[in-house]
Chains A and B, each alone.
Chain A
């Protein structure tokens, strides 16, 4: 059966949309605003004990001995665990690239400060932490490898003895005539950049409760899992168990942004449960653990970029060389973040030739994790600085420079040099919208006046792509197979006509249960209250992956519409039998199954379902008495990458244009955001309030990354930012509230034309703010090339200018 997905809201079986496309209130909110939502730490199971984990104080050391006896003897301690147990019971961690990891508890040596070394389970977390102080570990420190450049040198001391060096991955991807383009170009610009580590920091850290049933070797884990099914498969592999013996129940969680982590904590609690005769073991990662050893850190990058530009400003080639510091292991999927920029390598621009020289290096720092945006934000920062550098030199206005290079609206779908296909876009329209909102010319005049008064005011105008809806083929070049599985839903109508949708992903904040509710209420012509979305564990849910890669909104829309259509086919047959017509003569409209030629002959969806369940005599022979349908959606036409890694990996390309005006205080280096405008185009907006919330939230994270947040390690590999006193998340005082406009260029490839939108502004905000800062610094003749642009850094830069 092939499905014809509705291309737009007009194609839905209703006279006029009542819910979809409207900013309806979220169905998840009443529970959340009353504090009733079941986050993992709210759950207490009978017999449950509490885990605490001992973390390495050294960045690099051999473990000579571990003595757990004093800890085990403490009153209240139920079980203890070390790397020996992990070696006996589990496989080394799955890593990407493969072969760069150890066991979940260190065995031979520790490779970063914070690496789990041992664990205990006790009757309270307090006692468990007391027990940690009684564990005797003898370390023999080794010189840590902290600097990425030295680590990448031949002959550097090694993080993993079994490898030849610290290079986890190295490859040059060449797309088109790169050398020739640089030779022929009128102008070539070259610059290097530094992006320091930042990361997700959801307000809720990771947490899990694990049970290892010793009688039949089944595992049950409840936790703050972003991708429960994927985690479950991983555990089956790790513990060599049949995958249907691993049950994962995702609890609603307090944000994730890709950086929830949790693999180690889950495995450690499972093994502790095994040692504690199957008692449930809870582990709630505390904030200092999250910052120093969780899924908290991403994007530790050293860039060199060059662009080839003609006199008229058209860019003919882009070269980016990246040294990405992955930290000690490749367990965290941080490497995917270095690959994802290939999905939007040349941004909004028609740059025909490009090259990506990519090196992933191991050092003695926390393994890198994903973070919202998954890698392009630093890449965009680099690309957009290069665009500004070229514009300045050519005497072009930065907005004009971009306009001259945009992929024209009539060229879509458009395949970029690195192989991904952009579905649709109106980049120039978005730029024009922003310029109009900002009153660009007037703003430039204001800037001139400010400059005349000696103030350092600058404007950045940046357009970016948000690749959306990743697929299994997106990360195969670094050896990650099979991520990007279908997203499914089961839709059921009960005998009272109420609708239940069963999904496999937990609440995380994006409002996806509301979207499912809107779609189903719309499709079947009922009220929002008539629909309920419930979560199923991995064993009972339809195929699913969950949020990630800006995919869930699109994927779940496809799944819901597919299931609704399947269900409608059954209901239609019931109605056809009742009215004694052919199924083709019956249609669904506004919640009624009606005979096309005799609209008065109609049967409500609820009644049709009730007939199926209660009246076998009225059931058509080819219909089973089940008003339920399951559908799993996946993007069509996803194939393997070619020999240069070119691949159609992300189905949609959302676009945003940001204009920001800042002032730099030359005496303190402090940046103030004066004005901020955004035009955002993510295709059809299923719930515009959801999208706006995401945009604003991502602006905040972008501001954090650009001005405040940074993980700092000293030369010994000690983390200096292990608390919220030092890792600075933006507050209400630091976050601007941009004026926002929506453009809608539907995707021709997705159900209803929606595009992936969950990452949104983080792709653009850092680039835009940095462009604005550099515009402000222009009269001083210096350029900021390091993110975050902390006051100290900018001040120092400015000192260099005048002194």
Chain B
């Protein structure tokens, strides 16, 4: 179980990284935290002939408050996000989601950008990015651009990133004061990728739901926003009956999820509903 041979570059600037990507095209892979890429290299399931290690690129590791949002450098270790008091304060959902990623040793190396660019459909950060309307800042041969999370995730392990583009920053809007939130997932073991998960934000106003976000993960090819459920919530008094109705609707309406050895698609559908219910209950309890 040893990687096949590859050329290795360790650029120190985003511009250099991008021009290396441009030069080597599909043969090249960016190496961020390596927590997804290196296992695949070891198994020879990923076989880039060029590895571009962006760990030495300056200035891509930070968590900053920028207006109403958090600006997070793509190379920021997940563990830094988890530790940042700022994140806990401004966006407790992001904090909670980050803690659900693997284990501390994985988060010590794994990066925010890596997780989002890797786009595993069961990963927490892509789901939360979608739920919170995060914006992906991307640098490519034609300069910089920003892509909303809603447009970013294309399908299984695939995003809108072009081969010569690099994700440089993720901007996550702050969770408005009083917004209820929750992230619920079911994994075979603590720290494993989720079989399915749901993350919810809920704003209540005078006993009525004024805004809601419902995003599922692990049940489709990308994180899945369930607008139908959001519409059912907005303008309603959210109670147990409504919540279980929404759960049931989700279980019966979402497209057939992928099956694997741990979960049939039928079971995943069920989990999606159950976890949404649980997330709604918790978010409601937190909403002010």
Contact = CB atoms under 8 A, between A and B. Distances in A.
A728 B4 CA distance: 27
B190 interface: yes
A708 B188 contact: yes
Size bracket of the A interface: 20 to 34
Interface stretch (A124-132, A355-363, A686-694): A124-132
Contacts of B190: 731, 733-734
Interface in B239-283: 261-264, 266-267, 270-271, 274
B5 A726 contact: no
Interface string B1-19: 1111100000000000000
Given A288-B1, A791-B186, A792-B262, A668 B271 contact: yes
Contacts of A129: 1-2, 4, 44
A667 interface: yes
A169 interface: no
B183 to A, nearest CB: 16
B189 A795 contact: no
Given A670-B186, A708-B189, A791-B186, A720 B4 contact: no
Most chain A C-beta atoms within 10 Å of own C-beta, residue among B4, B192, B195, B261 = B261
Contacts of B270: 667-668, 795
Nearest to A796: B267
Main SS class of interface, B: loop
Contacts, number: 61
A730 B2 contact: no
B86 to A, nearest CB: 29
A721 B5 CA distance: 26
A667 B2 contact: no
A668 B2 contact: no
B260 to A, nearest CB: 8
Nearest to B247: A667
A287 interface: yes
Nearest to B278: A667
Given A288-B43, A720-B261, A721-B261, A733 B1 contact: no
Contacts of A795: 267, 270
A712 interface: yes
A342 B29 CA distance: 57
Interface in A719-770: 720-721, 723, 725-726, 728, 730-731, 733-734
A790 interface: yes
Contacts of A730: 189
B191 interface: yes
A667 B4 CA distance: 45
A286 interface: yes
B4 A792 contact: no
Interface string A2-43: 000000000000000000000000000000000000000000
Contacts of B191: 731, 733
Contacts of A725: 192-193
Contacts of A792: 262-264, 267
A712 B2 contact: no
Interface centre among B1, B190, B264, B270 (most CB of A within 10 A): B1
Interface residues of B, number: 24
Contact of B186 (A668, A726, A728): A668
Contacts of A288: 1, 43
A728 B190 CA distance: 11
Contact of B192 (A669, A670, A728): A728
A734 B189 contact: yes
**Is chain A's binding surface mostly helix, strand, loop or mixed?**
loop
Given A731-B191, A733-B189, A734-B189, A130 B4 contact: yes
A712 B186 contact: no
Contacts of A712: 261
Contacts of B264: 792, 796
Nearest to B190: A733
B274 A667 contact: yes
A710 B44 CA distance: 24
B2 A728 contact: no
Contacts of B43: 288, 723
Contacts of B186: 668, 670, 791
A467 B190 CA distance: 35
Nearest to A52: B2
Nearest to A729: B189
B1 A130 contact: no
B189 A126 contact: no
A721 B262 CA distance: 10
A728 B261 contact: no
A669 to B, nearest CB: 8
Contacts of B2: 125-126, 129
Contacts of B263: 792
Interface in A271-311: 286-289
Given A668-B271, A796-B267, A286 B261 contact: no
Nearest to B264: A792
A130 B3 CA distance: 9
Contacts of A126: 2-3
A792 B271 CA distance: 10
A728 B267 contact: no
Contacts of A133: 4
Nearest to A126: B2
Contacts of B262: 726, 790, 792
B196 to A, nearest CB: 9
A794 to B, nearest CB: 10
Contacts of B195: 791
Nearest to A124: B2
Given A288-B43, A792-B263, A731 B5 contact: no
A288 B189 CA distance: 20
Contacts of A733: 189-191
A437 to B, nearest CB: 27
A725 B35 CA distance: 13
A125 B263 CA distance: 36
22 contacts: A126-B2, A129-B1, A129-B4, A287-B1, A708-B188, A710-B261, A726-B261, A731-B189, A731-B190, A733-B191, A734-B189, A734-B190, A790-B188, A791-B186, A791-B188, A791-B195, A791-B267, A792-B263, A792-B264, A795-B270, A796-B266, A796-B267
Given A286-B1, A708-B189, A733-B191, 14 more contacts: A129-B1, A133-B4, A287-B1, A669-B267, A670-B186, A720-B261, A723-B43, A725-B192, A726-B261, A730-B189, A733-B190, A734-B190, A792-B264, A792-B267
